[in-house]
Amino acid sequence: MTKDPNIICVPESATIKDAMASIHESGIRVALIVNDDKKLVGVITDGDIREGLLLKGKTFDSPVAEIMNKNPTTATKDTPASILLETMLEKSIYEIPILNEDGIVTDIILLSELKQIPLAKQDITAKEVEAINEVLNSPYLSIGPKAEEFEAAVAKYVGVKHAVAVNSGTSGLHLLVRAFDIKDGDEVITTPFSFIASANAALFERAKPIFVDIDEKTLCIDPAEIEEKITPRTKAILPVHAFGYPADMDAISEIAKKHNLVVIEDAAEALGSAYKGRKAGSLGDGAIFGFYPNKQITTGEGGMVLTDNEEVAKLCRSMRNQGREEGGGWFNAVRLGYNYRMHELSAALGVVQMSRIDEMLQRRMNVANLYTTHLKSIEDVITPYLGPDTKMSWFVYVIRLNPEKFSRKERGEIIKRLGEHGISSREYFSSIHLQPLYVQMFGYKEGDFPITERVANSTIALPFHNNLTEAEIKYVSDTLKSALEEIKG
């Protein structure tokens, strides 16, 4: 890409073909039209060119003056960056020419230079900072009162008897697998459309994850497909609330009860979500949350085990702390354990975040609703499904492209083009069964779980956090629309 005025500027007498050549050489989507005195008289974008050729009967030899914008937005070198950014977002433009006092082009400012919209961003206030400082000035950095306070807050919010703070949601899943005595040779039924930790938790204990394809609307495990995968070795069902959307827990629990199976609820992405009036995290025999920085609340790194089973909670507390019994000696391990403890700094952060959870979940819902409003009219974009009897707490905002219109490769090109405009996005998730580890261990291949694969090849996670503005959401939506149109011509 170059911003050299000698390349991005073309004379007023130029043809559309000349402007296209300038755009191609510069790598910027506009050409600046100047008169004989080098003064700016207009701007032409690649979109203007397409419209002129396709809709207005113009040819490559038509003068650019016939389709250029003769009243472009401009600025001077002294225009503050904040004003440039506000103007670009408000007018949905990606470039502003910079002119000197004589109206001659000296530079061009690109939106991508001013604005980077991250995929996620934590919501930290002075209250969280104060809580961290209090811990730093206390006698306890680990194994202290803040972890217990955080556990109590989460247990009360979800409506369960026991909560056990750990250093990650993955650690929590591992502890539940051990607490429910899932071991070598056992099988755990789960989904191939998730973060890989949900399946790996079984592998940690030499059990085998058995995948069941997903429902194409909810993106959660399809209960109708579960029973045919049950064998004498099946020990548990591990549903995942994909992106915060609750799985069909009544159907899953009914199957589990019929076959005497444990239900381990992976609610890592679903703090605050609800299924038929019951909060995620309270719907199985045991559950976990994750508190990575992109989650509904964050502790930096961290997770929580939840259960109404006192013995399971006791085992998890012991195993997270090197196998010690509560109240036992420091060098008195009674079982195999791990260092899965949550330290006091993370717990203090979690306590404050839990005190703000209703406010933060409302903000996330507002952002999601604005996205849906701006995206619903874009052809071939599928917005997240919201079904009856469910409340979604919005971990991420993931759209899908029409798989009949856009290939996986084209999806990658769209993500690249969003990035070129300062917008972070990514595919979300990849099919677990097609990741190299699982192909190597179990011989999975394309076509084994067609719905998961079709969804995984078409998803794009858009920037999503509590403080995303409507102007930013509109910019993301407009840029996505332009990228889709460019890909399909």
Catalytic residues, which ones? 295
CB atoms within 10 A of CB 29: 19
Distances (CA, A) of 379 to 80, 375, 386, 401: 37, 9, 19, 9
Q: Which residue(s) pair with 234 in the sheet?
A: 187
CA distance 343 to 345: 6
In eight-state DSSP terms, residue 118 is -
CA distance 259 to 360: 39
User: Which residues, 6+ apart, have CB-to-CB distance to 70 below 8 Å?
Assistant: 41, 42
**The two three-digit tokens of residue 71, written as one number:** 């009243």
* Exposure letters 119-156 (e unless 16+ CB within 10 A, then b): bbebbeeeebeebbeebeeeeeeeebebbebbbebbbe
**The two three-digit tokens of residue 97, written as one number:** 């020419």
Is the bond leading into 195 cis (omega within 30 degrees of zero)?
no
User: Which residues, 6+ apart, have CB-to-CB distance to 90 below 8 Å?
Assistant: 471
**The two three-digit tokens of residue 356, written as one number:** 């703000």
CA distance 247 to 220: 5
* Residue found by looking up tokens 């019929």 in the block: 258
Please say whether the beta carbons of 255 and 224 come within 8 A: no
| Separation of first and last alpha carbons in the chain | 22
